[in-house]
């Protein structure tokens, strides 16, 4: 009869150390003697399944976080960290997309690029991004950071970023920010850049109102505006304006519906193809004033307003 091989006892983590992620049937690295799935893996599995309704809540620029995650092809934002940047890291930059869909990249000069539009492994995008950012800050310069399942009790972006820091997106016409030295880019990165540029929809951030983005498509242009108001209250206000014929942004424009993304509502207007981002600045600012007045109304909706609201909700799409 073959002898049983002696089992090697897992090294018990010291207090304060993270519990590594292992296979579900392996002994838990905490040293409890139980399988991982019945010990610390149980919390990890629950975190994967549990959806955080507003993952960017509490961050400066929550509405712009949602827009850059779901709507804007090419944009970057400088991210200030709590306590300042670590030694050897001259900057941390959020980017909508990185070459080869890398979750993050530590550049040769030590700076960090963090990708926002990547697939994530849990129901909390904030925790996944924070885990990627922490690993990027510790990575060797000149290396990309690969995706992984974030620890269930890991930090979130709200724990890492300066809550008083500004969040000021810069929208780009293409992805040239990937390669500051294009001549030395690898063939793979060059090919990825060409594909990304070919697919990018021209997009402009309005300057007169918050989190509103004009975009151009072959058939017509659009304005997509991420709003921070509670959904039911916002839909009531939009319905009041729509029923009164005051929901457009000028001649030939039309409020056509909304998205729901990461706990926020994103009204969408169709614009004639000739309407530029600059031309919609003033109408958008005027609409913001009308919306503020409509949000302040507390009376029940009239029958006509209820019909307008039904039409808007029937055309609502959930992105995430």
CB distance 106 to 135 below 8 Å = no
Residue 2 scores a pLDDT above 60: no
In this prediction, residue 15 carries a pLDDT of 56
pLDDT of residue 100: 87
Q: State how far the Cα of 142 lies from the Cα of 139, in Å rounded to an integer.
A: 9
pLDDT digits (tens, 9 = 90+) for 212-267: 999 999 889 999 999 999 999 999 999 999 999 999 999 999 999 999 999 999 99
Give the containing element (helix H, strand E) for 70.
Answer: helix 62-70
The pLDDT, as a whole number, for residue 4 is 44
Angle between helices 277-295 and 231-243 (to 10 degrees): 110
SS3 306: helix
Per-domain residue ranges for the chain?
62-199, 203-318
Predicted confidence band at 305 (pLDDT cuts at 50, 70, 90)?
very high
**CA–CA separation, 308 vs 247, rounded Å?**
11
Residue with tokens 């507003």: 54
Complete edge-to-edge strand list for the sheet that includes strand 170-171: 143-145, 104-106, 112-115, 92-95, 75-78, 170-171
Beta strand ranges found along 147-202 (DSSP E): 170-171
Q: Among 296, 297, 288, which Cα is nearest to 267's? A: 288
- Cα 158 from Cα 61, distance rounded (Å): 12
pLDDT at 10: 47
- Using the structure block, give the residue that is written with the tokens 């129901």: 123
Tell me: the pLDDT tens digits for 130-180?
999 999 999 999 999 999 888 888 999 999 999 999 999 999 999 999 887
**Neighbour tally for 283: CB within 10 Å:** 19
Q: Is the pLDDT of residue 5 over 90?
A: no
Per-residue model confidence as pLDDT tens digits over 55-71: 999 999 999 999 999 99
Indicate the DSSP class of residue 81.
B
What's the rounded Cα separation, in Å, for the pair 179 and 183? 9
The pLDDT score that the predictor gives to residue 12 is 61
pLDDT at 13 over 80: no
Backbone angles phi and psi of 80, in degrees to 5: -85, 135
* Backbone φ, ψ for residue 28 (5° rounding): -65, 135
Q: Which CATH number fits domain 203-318: 3.30.1490, 3.30.1460, 1.10.3470, 2.40.50?
A: 3.30.1460
User: What is the spatial distance between Cα 185 and Cα 178, in angstroms, rounded to a whole number?
Assistant: 9
Average pLDDT score, the chain: 89
On whether the CB atoms of residues 214 and 236 are closer than 8 A, the answer is: no
Return d(Cα 64, Cα 99) in angstroms, integer: 22
Residue 46: its pLDDT value, please? 56
- In Å, what is the CA distance from 60 to each residue of 70, 163, 223, 232? 17, 6, 22, 23
Across 64-83, average pLDDT: 97
Structure tokens at 254: 């039309």
> Which tens digit of pLDDT belongs to each residue from 14-53?
555 667 766 666 788 888 878 776 787 665 555 555 789 9
pLDDT given at position 24: 64
Q: Give the pLDDT confidence score for residue 155 in this predicted structure.
A: 96
């Amino acid at each position: 009869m073959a002898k049983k091989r002696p089992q090697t006892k897992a090294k018990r983590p010291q207090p304060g150390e993270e519990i590594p992620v292992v296979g579900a049937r392996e002994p838990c690295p905490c040293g409890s003697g139980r399988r991982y799935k019945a010990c610390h893996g149980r919390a990890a599995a629950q975190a994967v399944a549990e959806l955080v309704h507003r993952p960017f809540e509490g961050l400066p620029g929550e509405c712009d976080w949602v827009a850059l995650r779901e709507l804007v092809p090419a944009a970057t934002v400088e991210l200030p960290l709590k306590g300042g940047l670590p030694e050897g890291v001259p900057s941390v930059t959020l980017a909508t997309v990185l070459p080869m869909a890398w979750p993050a990249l530590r550049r040769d000069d030590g700076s960090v690029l963090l990708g926002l539009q990547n697939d994530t492994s849990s129901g909390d995008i904030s925790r996944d991004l924070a885990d990627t950012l922490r690993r990027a800050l510790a990575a060797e310069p000149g290396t990309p950071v690969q995706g992984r399942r974030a620890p269930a009790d890991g930090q979130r972006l709200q724990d890492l970023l300066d809550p008083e820091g500004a969040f000021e997106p810069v929208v780009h016409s293409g992805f040239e920010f990937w390669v500051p030295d294009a001549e030395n880019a690898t063939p793979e990165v060059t090919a990825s850049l060409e594909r990304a540029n070919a697919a990018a929809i021209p997009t402009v951030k309005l300057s007169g109102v918050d989190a509103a983005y004009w975009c151009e498509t072959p058939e017509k242009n659009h304005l997509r505006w991420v709003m921070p108001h509670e959904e039911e209250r916002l839909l009531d206000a939009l319905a009041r304006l729509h029923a009164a014929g005051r929901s457009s942004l000028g001649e030939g424009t039309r409020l056509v519906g909304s998205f729901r993304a990461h706990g926020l509502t994103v009204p969408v207007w169709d614009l004639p193809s000739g309407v530029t981002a600059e031309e919609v600045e003033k109408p958008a600012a005027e609409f913001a004033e009308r919306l503020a007045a409509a949000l302040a109304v507390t009376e029940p909706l009239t029958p006509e307003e209820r019909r307008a609201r039904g039409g808007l909700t029937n055309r609502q799409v959930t992105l995430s």
